[in-house]
Amino acid sequence: MSLVRTTGLDALRELEAQYIMGTYARQPVALVRGEGVRVWDSEGNELLDMVGGIAVNVLGHAPAAVRAALERQASLLLHVSNLYYSEPMVDAARRLVGTAFPARVFFCNSGAEANEGAIKIARKWGQRHRDGAFRIVCVENAFHGRTLATVAATGNPRYMAPFEPMPEGFVHVGFDDPDAVAAAVDERTVAVMLEPVQGETGINLVRDETMRALRRLCDERGLLLILDEVQSGMGRTGRWWAHQHAGITPDVMTTAKGLGGGVPIGAILAAPRADVLEPGDHGCTFGGNPLATAVAAEVLRAIDEQGLVGHAARVGDHLQSRLRDLGDPVVAVRGRGLMVAAELGAEIAPQVVRAGLRTGVIVNAIGQRTLRLVPPLVLTEPEADEAVRRLGEAIRLATAEAPR
Ligand SMILES: Cc1ncc(COP(=O)(O)O)c(C=O)c1O
């Protein structure tokens, strides 16, 4: 019997406070089991999970394909280090490149680590091709991770202030503004780096024409275009990668989150033009680990075989239209595929999230007015309908309980 089931959530919270650093403000629930889009808490309550581990559980919870790959690989070889060749890594890379653009891959463990590597690629490329240029033009309200360089690329003062001084070389311009990017470029600039859809800060879509303008700008000015698809990738937006809606390809792309379907893994893809890393330049003990890459290969295969990219587009449209039907206080719904935000007319988003735990739906609040939904790609239309019904109830509860 598990601890939380026998002694209750409060006992677990006390132990966590004793042993785990207090970096997260958690919801008052312990999730103990999942299947598909559903999870169960320690009290046995069933919830529809419209957060999916924050865009991670693309195949849902406990997917058979991932379990089988884990078991298969675990009984063969868990880990070998990067001193030796290993087939699962090559298999995963080949499948990953097949969904994207001609490139070679570096595997790591997380989104931040992938972006950190992308920044290192840009710096080396700048030394080689742009006279030592190293500055990267980023976008306001970005999120690229929590390492020092990716916090600097993120540019949020709240995340930077406690850890000053920041690594230098990052400038920020307004969102979806190619003219501002162009104006920020000088001889020290080496790359432009952005998320095609900003995830952590509210599901903000860069227009396709902006993506094309940025590709042109990078070509004309001899810069690298680095796209952070850590959250927007793996089929979530209705294309394998969000930049594919615009018909362009980046020079460097990063991914993580959904790539392992719940098993930690990240990756950098570098097109031939940007493929500058050589032996000794970069490394990672667990990067490309047989267990993680065997799973990633399986996730890529399963998404393809189950047609989940087109499915995400269709169910995403359905989900968005159902959310619009909720009406007041939902004042706007935006997104692409299954990367969706519902904007509320009142500052009750955190209360809605709490109420959702009572009505049986998991959503995430970004700030006071925005709800984010990034569910597993296997979500069905009936499940989306049920999730929206439960969300509507949560909104009613939160509205009724809000102080006037
Ligand atoms: C766009 C984007 N980049 C990078 C990251 C950081 O990824 P990780 O938490 O795996 O380091 C995230 C995480 O939310 C993200 O959404």
Cα–Cα distance, 227 to 371 (Å, whole number): 24
Q: For residue 36, is pLDDT > 60?
A: yes
Task: For residue 256, give the ligand 1 atom closest to its CA.
Answer: 10
H or E element, residue 362: strand 361-362
Task: For residue 115, give the ligand 1 atom closest to its CA.
Answer: 4
Give the residues across from 46 on adjacent strands: 40
Q: From atom 4 of ligand 1, which residue's Cα is the shortest distance away?
A: 144
Cα–Cα distance, 380 to 370 (Å, whole number): 23
Rounded mean pLDDT of 79-102? Answer: 97
Cα–Cα distance, 393 to 383 (Å, whole number): 15
Helices and strands, counts by H and E, the chain: 14, 17
Q: For residue 5, is pLDDT > 90?
A: no
Rounded mean pLDDT of 208-233? Answer: 98
CB of 338 within 8 A of CB of 316?
yes
Q: For residue 81, is pLDDT > 60?
A: yes
pLDDT in tens, 100-142: 999 999 999 999 999 999 999 999 999 999 999 999 999 999 9
Rounded mean pLDDT of 326-331? Answer: 97
- C-alpha 264 to ligand 1 mean position (Å): 12
- The pLDDT of residue 403 is 83
pLDDT in tens, 40-54: 999 999 999 999 999
- The pLDDT of residue 1 is 55
CB of 40 within 8 A of CB of 62?
no
CB of 367 within 8 A of CB of 341?
no
- The pLDDT of residue 3 is 75
Give the residues across from 138 on adjacent strands: 172
Q: For residue 404, is pLDDT > 90?
A: no
Q: Domains in the chain, ordered, with CATH?
A: 3-62+307-401 (3.90.1150.10), 77-305 (3.40.640.10)
- C-alpha 78 to ligand 1 mean position (Å): 25
Give the residues across from 353 on adjacent strands: none
**Distant-in-sequence, close-in-space partners of 290: CB < 8 Å, separation ≥ 6:** 73, 76, 77, 78, 79, 80, 86, 87, 88, 89
Q: What rounded mean pLDDT belongs to the chain?
A: 97
Cα–Cα distance, 298 to 372 (Å, whole number): 27
Mutate to test the pocket of ligand 1, among 109, 116, 227, 231 (most ligand atoms within 8 A of CB): 231
What one-character-per-residue DSSP string does 127-159 give? HHHSTT--EEEEETT----SSHHHHHHH--HHH
pLDDT band at 226 (very low <50, low <70, confident <90, very high): very high
Ligand 1 pocket at CB < 6 A: 110-112, 115, 143-145, 195, 199-200, 228, 230-231, 256
- C-alpha 110 to ligand 1 mean position (Å): 7
* Residue whose pair of structure tokens reads 């390492």 in the numeric block: 147
- The pLDDT of residue 87 is 97
CB of 198 within 8 A of CB of 204?
yes
Task: For residue 264, give the ligand 1 atom closest to its CA.
Answer: 10
- C-alpha 400 to ligand 1 mean position (Å): 35
Q: For residue 6, is pLDDT > 80?
A: no
- The pLDDT of residue 317 is 98
pLDDT band at 204 (very low <50, low <70, confident <90, very high): very high
pLDDT band at 402 (very low <50, low <70, confident <90, very high): confident
In the sheet with 266-270, reading across from the earlier edge strand, the strands are 104-108, 266-270, 252-255, 224-228, 189-194, 135-139, 170-173
pLDDT band at 7 (very low <50, low <70, confident <90, very high): confident
- The pLDDT of residue 319 is 98
Cα–Cα distance, 230 to 227 (Å, whole number): 9
Cα–Cα distance, 347 to 349 (Å, whole number): 6
Cα–Cα distance, 63 to 271 (Å, whole number): 32
Burial of 104 (0-12, 13-18, 19+ CB in 10 A): middle
pLDDT in tens, 151-186: 999 999 999 999 999 999 999 999 999 999 999 999
Q: From atom 14 of ligand 1, which residue's Cα is the shortest distance away?
A: 200
- C-alpha 141 to ligand 1 mean position (Å): 13
Amino acid at 330: V
Count of alpha carbons within 13 Å of 87, Cβ hemisphere only? Answer: 3
Q: Are strands 189-194 and 135-139 parallel, antiparallel or unpaired?
A: parallel
Q: From atom 8 of ligand 1, which residue's Cα is the shortest distance away?
A: 111
- C-alpha 179 to ligand 1 mean position (Å): 26
pTM score: 0.98
Give the residues across from 40 on adjacent strands: 33, 46
- The pLDDT of residue 2 is 73
CB of 290 within 8 A of CB of 78?
yes
- C-alpha 279 to ligand 1 mean position (Å): 27
Helices 87-99, 290-305: inter-axial angle, 10-degree rounding: 40
